[in-house]
Amino acid sequence: MNLDFTPEERAFRDEVRDFLRTSLPDDIRRKVLAGLSPSPADIRLWQRLLHRRGWGAPNWPERFGGTGWGAVKKFIFEEECATWGAPPQLAFGVKMVAPVIVAFGTPEQQQRHLPGILSGEVWWAQGYSEPGAGSDLASLKTRAVREGDHYLVNGQKTWTTLGQHADWMFCLVRTDPEAKAQRGISFVLIDMKSPGVTVRPIITLDGAHEVNETWLEDVRVPVANLVGEENKGWTCAKFLLGHERANIAGIGGSKRALARLKRIAAAEWKDGAPLADDPDFAARVAQLEIELMALEITNLRVLAAEADKRAPGPEASILKIKGTEIAQGISELTMQAAGVYAVPFDRAAMSLDFPGERVGPDYAAPLAATYCNLRKLSIFGGSNEIQKNIVAQMILEL
């Protein structure tokens, strides 16, 4: 694989940099580079700005408003956005449900839902996991009974990320309770304003309201909101999970976090010398950087496969495993570099405009919360242990 950009690709990189320099709001950039989470308003605004530029959906076909970029341009775009401190696009809409609607949806569904995702006007959530069905997703119990031109949906979904902001949720439901495992599951789109939908917060270890439990009680869902065929929603689910696991790799974000780690390690002192000069610590940073470089190459291979209209295969599981391990490793070393200042955290102090006095340097304020939050990476999107089984079955044929 030739890792050198062509003159055309270098020109595109300069174009992306110019756009980010002139269009990325400074308050959002400072927030992201400081390791703070962008707000829903920040994410919506950034999606609108990308849409106006024609870059709102790098992974969509052009006929649906996508960019038509090849694998390398997608890679350059993601890399530059992360480097400059742009917030990530909301994956549930642009990168997850939209490709499913493009691949399996009806023309009516495509016309109704894709424009709102592209413009940032419509926020989507994912309704996959249940209290008794996480990595073993095929054991889900949420039931959808057809009554004329509607389904009556009852059940509970959990870990609904940012569901408190969602307008719509794509959801896996069981339409044939007699079928085994993956059979009898359907993929439906649910309006979160429908009567019977209740979203209750789950406060995580870092004190944030990021995830929720979602109750569905006699929710009427039009049959027109069924994507693909009834009882064959597992096909859609696998397609979507492949995209989710590829996106979880988070290479751009990890490169930004790695650069931040190096800056902190160069500033923090241990026995009169910067921690970056400690051989053991430097070796651990170097190992993470090597692994991240290898992950980039694998990511490019997955993007190239998508360009050939092949859904992500076992490579997506590899990206998910290594991407999450690297992100966690960087956060652990960043905590070590900041020392005692990384331990306490106050959510109010994590604001860039915090009027009070922080304990320690400004950059240390979000480190403990970030460390706690990133513990989830090895679980969501299919636990890493399950992903290793997938790799063994699909590649090693075990």
Catalytic positions are: 244
Q: Which helix (H) or strand (E) holds 127?
A: strand 124-127
Q: State the Cα–Cα distance between residues 33 and 35, nearest whole angstrom.
A: 5
Quick check: 142 and 129 in contact, CB under 8 A? no
Q: Where are the alpha helices (DSSP H) in the chain?
A: 7-23, 26-33, 40-53, 71-84, 91, 98-104, 107-119, 233-248, 251-267, 279-307, 314-338, 367-373, 384-391
Quick check: 90 and 56 in contact, CB under 8 A? no
Q: State the Cα–Cα distance between residues 274 and 88, nearest whole angstrom.
A: 32
Quick check: 1 and 297 in contact, CB under 8 A? yes
Quick check: 38 and 31 in contact, CB under 8 A? yes
Q: State the Cα–Cα distance between residues 210 and 206, nearest whole angstrom.
A: 10
Going from the C-alpha of 307 to that of each of 72, 73, 126, 221, 293, the distances in angstroms are 10, 11, 25, 34, 21
